[in-house]
Amino acid sequence: MKTITNFSLLFILLIGLGACQSQADKRLDLNADKRAKLQYQLGLDALHKGLIPRAFEKLYLSDKIRPNQPKTLDAIAYAWRLRGDNKKAKIFYQRAIEHGAGSASFNNYGSLLIELGKFEQAIENFNLALEDPRYRNQDLVFVNMGDAFLGLNNLEQAVMSYRKAGILSKNWTYPKMKEAAAYTQFNRPTYAQAIYETLLRKEPANQDALRELIILLKGKGQKQLLRLYIQKFIEKTSDPLHQAWAKDELIILDKG
């Protein structure tokens, strides 16, 4: 009986020791998570401030503390894109996806693939990004998808994608600007002009739309129309630099 009691006591001590070890491991894991998240946030902050070397330092440290976290890998990929090394960026996007990254990484990777001329593969990744209906940047996915279709010389699908982006973000003029640019690229200036004029009627101080309209119509005998839009822009914009730019465009228009 004594022997049994001793073994029982030893068993209880071992269980207690295992429980203590388990709690200690949990505390270590929690501490590592906190340190990794801190380094990740510091890395993101450095990226936003344009401090690329510091961003690499902090993000790589975060990956060392807690390896293969998708958000960290995605951020490292973006840092490599800023450095101009798309090959290394591709490696980190692929790692992020392999370790369970969500829609944001599929979208980011797709945009990189467009830069690399891999348009069909980019579209595949955009479709994967759209599988999660909770993803908040679906409008951006559709804009990127439009760019990919444009790379494949598929104007119809490109326009459709840009319009889907516009439906999702009705106050965002960028998809319309992209659609107009696509029409210009495919030598359909009348459609592009109609879009720019529609934008300027809604937003007379839209410098991007006015700039593109000037480029489109310059030398085509529509000086009076351009003059009206430029003058309206000068009246509506509150930015002195934008006003100076528009006044210069009027001078150039008169000389042309």
Determine, yes or no, domain membership for 3: no
Among 14-23, 29-38, 156-165, top mean pLDDT goes to: 156-165
pTM as predicted:
0.85
For 102, list phi and psi in degrees, rounded to 5. Answer: -100, -160
Same domain membership, residue 208 and residue 229: yes
CATH number at residue 143: 1.25.40.10
What domain range is 61 assigned to? 32-101
Q: What is the identity of the amino acid at 168?
A: L
Same domain membership, residue 63 and residue 115: no
Q: How many domains does the chain have?
A: 3
Closest CA to 119 of 161, 84, 64: 161
Determine, yes or no, domain membership for 212: yes
What is the 8-class DSSP label of residue 216? H
| C-alpha pair distances (Å), 5 with each of 11, 14, 19, 68 | 10, 14, 21, 48
What is the 8-class DSSP label of residue 237? -
Same domain membership, residue 155 and residue 126: yes
Confidence of residue 218 (pLDDT cuts 50, 70, 90): confident
User: Which of 154, 179, 204 finishes a domain?
Assistant: 179
What's the pLDDT at 87?
Answer: 97
Q: How far apart are CA 110 and CA 121, in angstroms?
A: 7
Cβ–Cβ under 8 Å, residues 165 and 176: no
Cβ–Cβ under 8 Å, residues 123 and 148: yes
Confidence of residue 11 (pLDDT cuts 50, 70, 90): very low
Contacts with 244 (C-beta within 8 Å, 6 or more apart), sequence order: none
Same domain membership, residue 223 and residue 174: no
Place of tokens 């129309």: 225
Q: How far apart are CA 171 and CA 154, in angstroms?
A: 26
Contacts with 44 (C-beta within 8 Å, 6 or more apart), sequence order: 55, 75
User: Which of 179, 210, 227 finishes a domain?
Assistant: 179
Same domain membership, residue 175 and residue 107: yes
Whether 247 shows a pLDDT value over 60: the answer reads yes
What's the pLDDT at 189?
Answer: 95
What's the pLDDT at 3?
Answer: 45
Same domain membership, residue 161 and residue 94: no
Cβ–Cβ under 8 Å, residues 128 and 144: no
Determine, yes or no, domain membership for 242: yes
User: Which of 56, 74, 101 finishes a domain?
Assistant: 101
